[in-house]
Amino acid sequence: MIKGFFNVPPAKNEPVVDYAPGTPEREALQKKYKELYNGNIEVPMYIGGEEVVTGDTHELTPPHDHKHVIGKYHRGNKEHVQKAVDSALAAKSKWEKMSWEQRVSIFLKAADLISGPYRAEMNAATMLAQSKNAYQSEIDAVAEIIDFLRFNADYMTQLYREQPYSPKDTWNRMEFRPLEGFVFAITPFNFTAIAGNLPSAPAMAGNTVVWKPADSQIYSAQLIMRIFKEAGLPDGVINLIYVDGPDAGDVVFDHEDFAGLHFTGSTKVFKHLWKTIGSNIDKYKSYPRIVGETGGKDFIVAHPSAESKTQAIATAIIRGAFEFQGQKCSAASRCYFPSNLWPQLKEELLNDMKTLKMGSPDDFSNFVNAVIDRPAFDKISGYIDKAKESKDAEIIAGGNYDDSKGYFIEPTVILTTDPHFVTMEEEIFGPVVTIYVYDEKEKWSDVLKMVDETSPYALTGAVFSQDRYAIQEATEALTHSAGNFYINDKPTGSVVGQQPFGGARGSGTNDKAGAKLNMLRWMSARSIKENFVPVNDYRYPFLGQ
């Protein structure tokens, strides 16, 4: 069952290309970006072996240049959702019977295609459609998606290697079946890697999938699908549809063969889907697996002992809060700094802020690009306006925004005197960070209690300190405050295989994408015992006289 495959080397993280000036990789990426920018693709849905066009087309435009059209996609309806479900179920028997080594091989080939011939196109598509700079795209649309595919394959080998003990005359073994039914994957706009992982992880485990990406991520999602197909993914294993959420939910969650939800998105939507699944529980053949990663209100807290780390803290704020315009569920959004550190930290932070450039990602000198769309622009600018109008807050950097060409919002730093000011508590999902300065004489335990109790989320967080006792106290006090906890580092940038990602409370089910834990969620284990020498007498020795 497992012979031969263990000769494959364990997964290693994909090297990240830096795209420094003068490198051939930089030139190739710039060329591909221009090619896609000047193109005009037509994107079908992928249902079974069919590329489905509906005539109901919608424009695809870059967030940083929203009047420029780079393509159009065909939108579906409930009928197409039903066809996708039927296609997934039709493909299921043959796919789940395929040996797991053969399934894994397809996704390992996809990883190599992304690493090699598709590297520039994957990056350019994400830069263009999601307005990521070259580095943010490289670590997402290339390195991370490759890592997901390769590490998940490695986790499959580990699972099958870990077989139960077999005593004399018996062979005990464990097999990992797919779930009974189909899996529904709902993916967000902000990470191309998540869009690739959420449907592929269940598929690698033998499930068939209906995949609905965010509308603003369709451009790069269709490229992932094309690569999977080129790698040999059979028809119907993953079905890619572009439909309204309610249309998808009405069909998927009402189906008796619904077996699992793999979700990344808002907390509000996830709670609604959970309620829907719960209300329909009597319809299903089995209890559906629900795996979700949702929002975050992620923190940086510094101890008074961190006087030598003020420049590191400033760097953590800028990278943690403003990379990809703060549109990461892990982005630093609320900060707690002691009064003894604040004067020096403020000076270093504001000096660095003055050097940040904002604009289109095709200019590689731009650190900040556009936010994803009009609703995001309006929401984020609304929070900035609240800070401008409040007596409890002041904007000490940024605060401007302009949507005339693209959805541009300056990286904004808010200083508040209220630790429960609205921007300290509510998820903004944009380039806005709020700082509260506490009295350096305040008890460290009280500061940590405030950090713990301020937000309903518990995704990521970071502590800076030179005092090991303070670090230990923070680690214990914030046990349930962050599923990914960082010591003397920014709270973003988890790497597959190194920091399995996920949080609890309002941030999700903490099933750790990029870990063996997540792969187990898409499997239903079966224990098999084979007795080589069957017993022929029911009597036990204790029955003797």
Q: How far apart are CA 310 and CA 404, in angstroms?
A: 37
C-alpha distance from residue 384 to each of 354, 400, 431 (Å): 19, 8, 10
Catalytic residue among 138, 329, 335, 410: 329
Q: In what order do the strands lie in the sheet with 412-416?
A: 393-397, 412-416, 432-438, 332-338, 298-302, 460-464, 484-487
Is residue 514 within 8 Å of 501, Cβ to Cβ?
A: yes
Report the chain's terminal Cα–Cα distance, integer Å.
Answer: 47
Q: How far apart are CA 285 and CA 160, in angstroms?
A: 26
Q: How far apart are CA 322 and CA 432, in angstroms?
A: 8
The residues with which 402 forms a beta bridge, in sequence order, are 408
The residues with which 171 forms a beta bridge, in sequence order, are 530
Q: Could you tell me the sign of the dihedral formed by the alpha carbons of 304, 506, 131, 35, in that order? A: positive
Is residue 411 within 8 Å of 431, Cβ to Cβ?
A: yes
Phi, psi of 47, rounded to the nearest 5 degrees: -125, 115
Active site residue 329: yes
Is residue 37 within 8 Å of 70, Cβ to Cβ?
A: yes
Ramachandran area for residue 497 (φ above 0: left; ψ -120 to 50: alpha; else beta): left
The full 3-state SS of 336-368, as one line of letters, equals EEECCCHHHHHHHHHHHHCCCCECCCCCCCCCE
Active site residue 293: yes
Mutual angle of helices 192-204 and 119-130, in 10-degree steps:
120
Catalytic residue among 293, 323, 410, 427: 293
Q: How far apart are CA 376 and CA 293, in angstroms?
A: 19
Give the residue numbers annotated as catalytic, written as ranges: 293, 329
